[in-house]
Structure 1
Amino acid sequence: MRAVWYEEVGPAVQVLKYGELADPAPGPGEVRVRVRASGVNPSDVKARAGSRGAITYPRVIPHSDGAGEIDAVGEGVDAGRIGERVWLWNAAWQRADGTCAERVCLPARQAVALPGGMDWQAGACLGIPASTACHAVFADGDVDGQTILVTGGAGAVGHYAIQLARWGGARVIATVSGEEKAEAAKQAGAHAVINYRVGDVAEAIIAANGGKKVNRIVEVEFGGNLAVSNAVLGAGGVIAAYGSAANMTPEIPFRPMMFNHTTVRMMLVYLLSVQERAKVIDRLTRALDSGALCHAIAAKFDLSDAVEAHLAVEAGQLIGNAVILID
């Protein structure tokens, strides 16, 4: 099979290799998927670059997200699943073999049926971006009638968070850093979009909510936004944080947060419990079946162009997801 891999961490142009590897065979409880699209996420890029630590396997095929069809099953798996169209999660999490190859074997439960008519490239965005957004929005209960603030509303996670919150019946306010990103957030369905680089962002958020504070925050930059979050979050509110790149060691203002009865949820989508994962899959399936979600594919690459795909994600300028298409 054609595949992309690395045997040491470092710059994409130096360590990523493209070539032929032997087809894998599914073990007990596993399925083998003919991958049609592989999602390229910032976490994949960071792992390859070495920012997540040294390589832990002799060879790593990157990327946790993907979509394709099951073409073989291992012992204990229903052979009726052969031919099933699926999307994949955690393919490369604490495993050597991810989705940046023509075939991948993984536990059967990590291959989820794609809703009818959904294309491969969209399916390759569900494992990390859409699942992170879904858990951030709903982990603390239903959101009907609430106001949700989505920071980084034009990002891959923010794009899905806006749509899922609206699907759940919430009013959505998004913050962005410029006009192009503002348009993307509006297209996703945000009721109000605020440029956080202009004026008093906390004041603008509260004004956009009719003078009231928000109920929950889906947070891409916990440390950098903490002052604003405390200013705009109502009593008993939740901050669901999935990133804090600008300030990884923020000082927590415990007293004001305690007296606001604030819940801070730190989350990592790879570590969802079995129950949490089941809820995410159920909600995403229902949202997709109802036509509530559209998908922002910012860039497409061939398998042989994986280096360019990693460089594009690393640059941080894409408004949407990057996928590698594998014919």
Structure 2
Amino acid sequence: MKAIIMTATGGPDVLQLQELPKPTIRQPGEVLVQLKGAGINPVDTKLRTRGTFYPDRSPTILGCDGAGVVDAVGREVKNFQKGDEVYFCFGGIGGPEGNYGEYAVVDHRFIAKKPRTLSFAEASAAPLVLITAWEALHDRARIQPEDTVLIHGGAGGVGHVAIQLAKQTGARVCVTVSCEEKEELACSLGADHIINYRQTDFVEAIMEWTSGKGVDVVFDTVGGEIFEKSCGAVAMYGDLVTLLQPSANINWNTARARNLRFSLELMLTPMHRGLISALEHQADILHCCAELFDSERLRLHFQQTFPLAEAAAAHRLLERGGMMGKLALEMG
């Protein structure tokens, strides 16, 4: 099969198209998927430049997200059959088990039927951001109807999905964005209040929006100084969930005085640690989201596809920053 591999860390040019043996089913619960698309995520570029979770395993095929058609199933697989269209988030964090290629083998417990209303490219770009947003809002913050929620980076890959999931719960949603185009996207997705953080102090704007109370939940997809500053925008006994590791020199006084509850969200942990029940939960999330897509209650803001051979160009575009919408590779 054709696949994009890397044998060393570095810039996008370390991604090389090569011919590799087609993977085979080795366990009775596995599924062989003929991939039609692979999502491109920021974690891919970080693993490419900094190294993977398994630096001793080479070559590496990147790509956590995939979508395609079931080509074969192990003897214990009952819920999938040859020809089924599926999508999943598994692999791509080190070694040859990634999705920048024409085939992948995945445990049947970790995949879900593809949304009928999405193309393979669109479906392949969705799993990581869907799982991240869902876990952050539902599993970490335990969002409730009528909650007020601030989502930083509301036009980003995770943020634009989080807006919609929060609205599905019945929450009132405020987002931060950087420009008018992103304001328009956030508004079209249902955001109730939009703050251009380059023009307005978001803490002051939140206090005005909530009549001085603060929001029940802040979902931080940006990190850095935004995390510490966000403590002043959360209501007493509220939740702050972040995707990034907080700085070691944060002043926690405001957070302590407000009795805030903090959560860290890294959706790759179950894959890295082999947490089977958590991986099954992530597949359940994808199943729920497929129903939301197909009932037109959820949409993916998709920007562009690249042929598999142009993975390096896709990485360059993503690393340029300021992008709206998701990217994916297409396999022939």
**TM-score greater than 0.5 by the shorter chain:** yes
1:172-208 CA-partner distances (Å, limit 9, x unpaired): 0000112222222222221111011113221112223
1:232-269 CA-partner distances (Å, limit 9, x unpaired): 1001111110125xxx5243433432332211101100
The aligned counterpart of 1:124 is 124
The aligned counterpart of 1:180 is 181
Distance 1:197 1:117, change over 3 A: closer
Q: Structure 2 CA distance, aligned partners of 1:220 and 1:27?
A: 38
The aligned counterpart of 2:99 is 99
Q: Structure 2 CA distance, aligned partners of 1:290 and 1:144?
A: 21
The aligned counterpart of 2:223 is 222
Residue identity (%):
29
The one-letter code sitting in structure 2 at the alignment partner of 1:45 is: T
The aligned counterpart of 1:296 is 301
The one-letter code sitting in structure 2 at the alignment partner of 1:193 is: I
The aligned counterpart of 1:56 is 56
The aligned counterpart of 1:20 is 19
Distance 1:68 1:228, change over 3 A: same
1:288 deviates by 2.8
Q: Secondary structure at the match of 1:115?
A: coil
Check whether the contact 2:54–2:95 (CA below 8 A) recurs between aligned residues.
no
The aligned counterpart of 1:231 is 232
Check whether the contact 1:164–1:292 (CA below 8 A) recurs between aligned residues.
no
1:40-69 CA-partner distances (Å, limit 9, x unpaired): 101011111225577331211110001111
Check whether the contact 1:36–1:325 (CA below 8 A) recurs between aligned residues.
yes
Where does 1:18-97 land on structure 2 (aligned, <5 Å)? 18-28=17-27, 29-50=29-50, 55-78=55-78, 80-97=80-97
1:37 deviates by 0.9
The aligned counterpart of 1:253 is 251
Q: Secondary structure at the match of 1:57?
A: coil
The one-letter code sitting in structure 2 at the alignment partner of 1:214 is: V
The one-letter code sitting in structure 2 at the alignment partner of 1:131 is: I
Check whether the contact 1:9–1:55 (CA below 8 A) recurs between aligned residues.
no
The one-letter code sitting in structure 2 at the alignment partner of 1:240 is: V
1:79 deviates by 8.0
Distance 1:310 1:281, change over 3 A: same
Q: Structure 1 CA distance, aligned partners of 2:87 and 2:54?
A: 28
Q: Which moved more, 1:229-238 or 1:155-164?
A: 229-238
Distance 1:51 1:94, change over 3 A: closer
The one-letter code sitting in structure 2 at the alignment partner of 1:167 is: Q
1:226 deviates by 3.1
Distance 1:167 1:175, change over 3 A: same
Q: Structure 2 CA distance, aligned partners of 1:68 and 1:316?
A: 28
Structure 1 outlier segments of 4+, above 6 Å: none
Structure 1 gaps of 5+ residues are: none
Q: Structure 2 CA distance, aligned partners of 1:95 and 1:162?
A: 34
1:223 deviates by 3.2
Check whether the contact 2:61–2:94 (CA below 8 A) recurs between aligned residues.
no
The one-letter code sitting in structure 1 at the alignment partner of 2:256 is: M
Q: Which moved more, 1:73-82 or 1:27-36?
A: 73-82
Distance 1:209 1:121, change over 3 A: farther
Distance 1:95 1:18, change over 3 A: closer
Q: Secondary structure at the match of 1:31?
A: strand
1:80 deviates by 4.8
Q: Structure 2 CA distance, aligned partners of 1:286 and 1:210?
A: 36
Distance 1:324 1:132, change over 3 A: same
1:294 deviates by 0.8
Aligned-pair RMSD on alpha carbons?
Answer: 2.1
Q: Which moved more, 1:173-182 or 1:159-168?
A: 173-182
Distance 1:95 1:231, change over 3 A: same
Q: Which residue of 270, 284, 288 maps to 2:289?
A: 284
How many residue pairs match? The answer is 323
Q: Secondary structure at the match of 1:61?
A: coil
Q: Which residue of 258, 268, 271 maps to 1:270?
A: 268
